[in-house]
């Protein structure tokens, strides 16, 4: 579903026991690329998510058992922001 992936979206894991984070927040994506940059909203940890694993909905309406399903399509601020270790003009 690479045509609908864009920064600001939140996806939840479809796995009963997710191998990765339970949710991911898309922070960067270039159309046509195979992966998107994301963060785990609970920990702020950055990660790469394959676009093929991001689904708008289930094609049949049934529960998926793999990948991530879109839960919030509105673009907004990241739900978690890691504090910087220091404040300087070069890092700001």
Q: How far is CA 89 from CA 81, 86, 92, in A?
A: 19, 10, 5
**Confidence label for 86 from pLDDT (cuts 50, 70 and 90):** very low
Asked whether residue 75 carries a pLDDT value surpassing 90, the answer given is no
* pLDDT on residue 19: 72
pLDDT in tens, 9-50: 999 888 876 677 789 999 999 999 999 999 988 888 999 999
Q: How far is CA 38 from CA 35, 42, 62, in A?
A: 9, 12, 26
0.75 exceeded by the pTM? no
Question: How far, in Å, CA of 28 to CA of 42, rounded?
Answer: 18
* pLDDT on residue 35: 95
């Amino acid at each position: 579903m690479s045509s609908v992936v864009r920064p600001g979206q939140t996806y939840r894991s479809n796995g009963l026991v997710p191998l990765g984070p339970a949710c991911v927040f898309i922070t960067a994506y270039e159309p046509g690329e195979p992966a998107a940059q994301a963060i785990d909203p609970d920990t702020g940890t950055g990660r790469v998510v394959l676009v093929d694993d991001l689904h708008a909905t289930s094609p049949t309406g049934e529960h998926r058992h793999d990948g991530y399903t879109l839960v919030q399509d509105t673009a907004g601020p990241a739900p978690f922001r890691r504090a910087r270790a220091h404040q300087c003009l070069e890092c700001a």
